[in-house]
Structure 1
Amino acid sequence: MDECQHLLLFFIILSVWETGSDQVHYSVPEEAKHGTFVGRIAQDLGLELTELVPRLFRVTSKSRGDLLEVNLQNGILFVNSRIDREELCGRSLECSIHLEVIVDRPLQVFHVEVEVKDINDNPPVFPGAQKNLFVAESRPLDSRFPLEGASDADIGENALLTYRLSSNDYFSLDVPTADQQVKPLALVLRKPLDREDSPELHLVLTATDRGKPELTGTVQLLVKVLDANDNAPAFDRTLCAVKLPENVPNGTLVIKLNASDLDEGLNGDFMYSFSSDVSPDIKSKFYIDPLSGEITVIGHIDFEESKAYKIRVEATDKGLPPLAGHCTVLVEVVDANDNAPELTITSLSLPISENAQPGTVIALINVFDRDSGANGQVTCSLTSQVPFKLVSTFKNYYSLVLDSALDRESVANYDTGEVRVNDAIDFEDSNTYEIHVDVTDKGNPPMVGHCTVLVEILDENDNSPEVIITSLALPVLEDSQVGTTIALISVSDRDSGANGDVTCSLMPQSPFMLVSTFKNYYSLVLDSTLDRESVANYELVVTARDGGSPSLSATASVSVEVADVNDNAPLFAQPEYTVFVKENNAPGCHIFTVSARDADAQENARVSYALVERRVGERALGEIKVNGKIDFEETKSWKLQIEAVDKGTPPMFGHCTVLVEVLDVNDNAPELLVTSLLLSIPEDAPLGTVIALVRVTDRDAGENAQVTCSLTLQVPFKLVSTFKNYYSLVLDSVLDREKVSKYALVLMARDSGSPSLSATASVSVDVDSGQAPKTFSRASVSAAGAETALVDVNVYLIIAICAVSSLLVLTLLLYTALRCSGPPSEGACVPGKPRLVCSSAEGSWSCSQQRRQRVCSGEGPPKADLMVFSPSVPSGSNSGDTGDQPEFCENVSTIILGCFMPLHVNHVVVHQQITVSPLL
């Protein structure tokens, strides 16, 4: 039987050890800063850093739980907030913070004690800043005057005080030794007092503790020297010790003090009172009768609040000045069993699995009784038959664990707090247990505490959710409205509780979302607009996950196809194209192909093309071809508007502009217009005499229109360029009629094209013997252009030309007035200003922009084909006719007429110029 008991004791000790009954001790100084290292608690408890978070590592404390904290990353215990030892433990010599370290899986409890070391952070403090002492001058030498010592909130060396008195001739300081703690601090008279000599003495009493660094406190002592009353009341005992039970009623007598005064009369009549340094707490609990000296209870005395009281009492006579005697009363409070035990569940692992192994810790219970001695000794037990038991793990700590016994009969042991029940836990039989825990102290009479623990049994999460797609509407038009339902989804889980609570989620990120319509029912709806051109198909995964631990999940795939709608117009690569085409291309020649892209699909993306102005070109291919002959001299460019249209319903359109620039080809030979001024020339004509005027033109452009003119034969004449494309045929050397009487001149004009084209003209000049020359009219090879040129001629030639020009001007003006019945649009004229050349009043050449009229033919620029000099006319006769005239377009040539008055030889003056258009 003894062996069985020893074996049972061994298993109980082993169980207690496994649940974490080890205690670790640390120390930390008070007032340590936040983050101060205390200890490597995880390492000291034998725990790995990686298991702190998974095992729910936590620290609790019954007192101030926020003072210390553990870093779960490195397992270090550190100071979390300010620790004040005096606030935490008061005057107690030992001050510790008791921590409970709890980890789960499996549940373990460790006890950690952190000792708070005192530092010297409190200086000595006297009851007041000044103390008044009344001393009769008759007091003998070595008289003692008790003083109120200083107090220090620290402990140990930091609270051991030494005193010193400021230098004086009358008093010394008597400081009690370590074994004379009852003996008060006192001033000792060393020299007789003489009130007449020194009525007052000012002394400074300094208290210094033994901490490092030392802290000091001072009090001003004012000694007033009095006459007469030189005997203070004296107690029969200077120290009295009494015991007082807690919870005694008010009015209970604590002690009656006796004092006597050797003086007579008022000097011997005294009254009892508490000293001035007695705390307000003591005054609220005790009262002293000033006449009888009886100390009685007037407040609640609680052992748990304070175990002892130190009361300083004075007896003060009525002499002048009054004298006082002192006595100390020590009241020891005796504990009574007046506090029932308290139960605290510091950790509760709920719910527990139905498959939990026997010995699994369910809860940690802390039992606490504020009483002391036998009144604070408690036992714990279970009052109901349940498949659990209590195991004592540490002083006043119990673990509620799952019992492993196979016997259905329950056995309760109130000494060990164990209850054993057979049977494994079955979730189907019972899913909740109500456990009643009782705790009883050993006081007389005993007091009992109760608590109830509800343990929920949780089934295992052994069934995965199921996902069923009950309806699916495909495909989805890309213009579907937000909120359109795509599919209906139902989920289920055969487990219960959290294991059967299923949540649904949708992956990946898409314009769809799941909307819960009812419990375990969801709708897959459109959350934002679709764009088939961006994404044409979505592969969605619906995930259903239960609330078990570990969680189980199931997935279902949904493929959503987006159907196209015609929401994209054809788009050209650029809004405008420029094409360069040579003239004279054959009809049907392909010059350019436009192409537009449509982001839609199938019929919505099939594009055809057309010219906006007229239906020309390949509609399907976008090819631009020539319909007729292209002539640069007729039209230099076209601006085509191309339209692209898809086959959608309704169709959508795109546009672009094609600029066709015609490149000139040298297909026009130059033209010469020769006007002979003289039929014959005198043999003695001076060098430089003008024989004829020559104008060259070319309908091409650029280098193809740059024309040079020359004489093909070696003759005594030369061509002088007077203006662009204008030449004068002048005499270059002396004539000799006897040698040559007639010259046949050939003029050649050649352009700069490749290949070059040319034209020639013949001029016949007779040489006479010196008579007046006869004038020619005009011999023309061809006429075209837009500019004028003036050359110097002699006076006779100008008079003849002006006479002919005047008649021609009148005829043209009349004809123009008849033709211009209404102003045609100027928009039909290609921009270009005719250049007018005239002579200024001083005889120099200048360009005049006054009183001009621009005339154009067809789509080409204005052309100046003829320049005629008219004689001068009165300024008023034609001023009204030469104002700004309406511009009009005809297939005519512009004639610039200039009217001149001869001033002297080889100079002309322009009085009037007009521009007319004759009908050719």
Structure 2
Amino acid sequence: MSTSVTHYSIPEEMKEGSTVANLASDLGLDVKTLNQRKMRLDIIANKKYLDVNKETGELYIVEKIDREYICPTKSSASCYLKLEMILENPVRIFNVEVEILDMNDNAPQFRRDVIHLDISEATPKGERFSLSNAVDPDVGTNSVKTYHLSESEHFNIEVQTGRDGSKFAEFILIKALDREKQAVHNLILTAVDGGTPARSGTASVIVRVLDTNDNAPTFDKSIYTVKIIENSPIGSLVIDLNATDLDDGANSDLTYSYSLYTSEKTQETFNLNSATGEITVKGMLNYEDFKIYDMEVIATDKGANSLSGQCTIKILVEDMNDNHPEISIKSFQSPVNENIELDTVIAVVSVSDKDSGDNGVVDLHIPHNMPFKLRESSDNYYQLVVSQPLDREKVPEYDITFTVTDRGSPPLSDNETMTLELLDVNDNVPQFPQSFYTIRVMENNAPGALLSSLTAFDPDLHENQYLVYFILEKEIANTSMSMLFSINPENGNLYALKTFDYEIEREFLFHIEARDSGSPPLSSNVTVHIIIVDQNDNAPVIVSPWRAHGSVVEEKIPRSTDKGSLVAKVIALDTDSVHNSRITYQFLQVTDATLFSLDQYNGEIRTMRMFSYRDPRHQRLVVVAKDNGDPALSATVTIKLSTVETAVKAYSDMTEVPLEYDIFSDLNLYLVIGLGSVSFLLLITILVTIVLKCQKPKPSKAAPPSRNSVISERNSTVADSTLVSNDAYWYSLFLAETRKGKLVVRQPVPKGSRYIVSSIPRGTGLTETSDSAASTLQ
């Protein structure tokens, strides 16, 4: 067996599983040979921290090593783990020493976190005091090296070294203390070790300055006057004396006592707490037996040379109404419906008072301006009844305070509050902010557009407050309102279901109902007036002169035409509203501006002078008809005038120049279809207008319209031959008759404002008109 020693050094911070060394190699053992011979290397001592890998022969750490735990004493700077290794077959024993090297892993630490020092204010400066030193389990330079003290004008420290090399600090008073200026000094003592990096620990040093007994106790007053009610119970507080002493500690601890001048009767009736100075009732007080008690109390401190102060107390016993009246609620009904009948009993209350005489007579009250009243039913019993109608929407609940007061002097009272809750009744109809709504809707609106929000309010609660909105059905021209408008039943939002056309429909009048969900339900309705606002969405249509081919009209006039003669008349129609349909006429182009004039209001083109031989034979006039919209819409017509030497019969201002019948024979098929479609749409419009107007009373009777003749009932405010945009029948007749080669003529009725519209065959110069008989048509 071998007794050689193998030495290793490791730092204590090595982690578990770390390899210390290859022990087999260091011992001169071949691991392969060991395995072949089935020899086993094992540790038989200190196996807690270190072990050997039996296959590789490596020495490794089993558990983290703490040097301060293994070597708690600091008698030696070295710390070893001694191991014994055994090798079997043959048996050999090896000694292994593993030195644990210290690291600075511990900070200095004081045995106490707080160091208390009591120093008298009479201590002279220069006096030294011992402080407990800090300890550091590390060794060498890693242990405590020095101390520091926080800044102070009264104290300082000196670092001393002990026989064992430990460091400690001495506390030195460098300036005299004054307890009245500062009774406690709080300092921080710091210990620092010599490691790299350095570690430190702190302790609080609390210095309490001890006082000398140089102040006598004093009371707030020299004389106290106290009133106390007779029959006050034993132990009732009379007065709490509070003498003060500016000293500290035992010098300010006070003891209270009666002086020799206090009578035995007083001391038997009142108890004085010697520690707190409280004076309490010790015996029964009776105003009729004893009314005034005088006493003298002394406060003495517990200093070595005790000091004292005194005061005088005068106690006055008062005769009082010492029994309070009592209230007892026998019954109370809550909640109740807000429509509860008047004079209904809500509560029954009883009152009582144990006193006698006036002190036992009581009165019961409730607050004023409440819809209730008290009614006395029997001795000391009262009923609370409803005196005015209740309305939950104004006051949802009442806090009713019953107050009982006796007639003593001073009177005593008691009160009790009960809450009366009102239940809602469906007694309020829904209310709209307005009784009539006027809503303007621009035509050509998008279907589904929000028009307005018609929200009603119901002050009731719960289902009595939940509202549902309806449109009251009303049919207009076989169309119900629900097909035109929709309302959200929950919030009253009104929507349009279709796109409106001002030229077809201009206003709607209907009712909307708001109904609550109460039982029975209540409802109210509001009138809604929908006004369709016109847009300038129709351009003027030129209906005269008739254009058979495109937009060019050819006319012939004699060169001998006089000045002021009517050459042509431009008539345009616009189906928009009156404002947007006002037509004005202007020349866009004119061959000779000195030859023709155009009336901007009636569209009449007249000669401004006679033709001369220098004037060209062909004149080109371009006329624009513009409406009054914003932006304005317009239509144009081109008139080509040819002057002829032959005489042409001129018609009066109330007729049109004859057109040859054969000008329509070459009419393009597509133009005919287009004009027919326009005529059909206008005819539908006329029929709808007639139906609507038939529902209203007519101001006067007129001759029934016929195919060949019509009498216009409207008043004329412009020239005889001027048409307005809503004269649809005249426009329809004009299109129909001119296609057949007829001449359409409109003449005023003598002594009247009506017009007679007639048609005659082209090629004749005769005009047949009549109020009753129709003209002959071929």
Higher relative contact order (CA 8 A, sep 6+): 2
Shorter-chain TM-score bucket reads 0.3 to 0.5
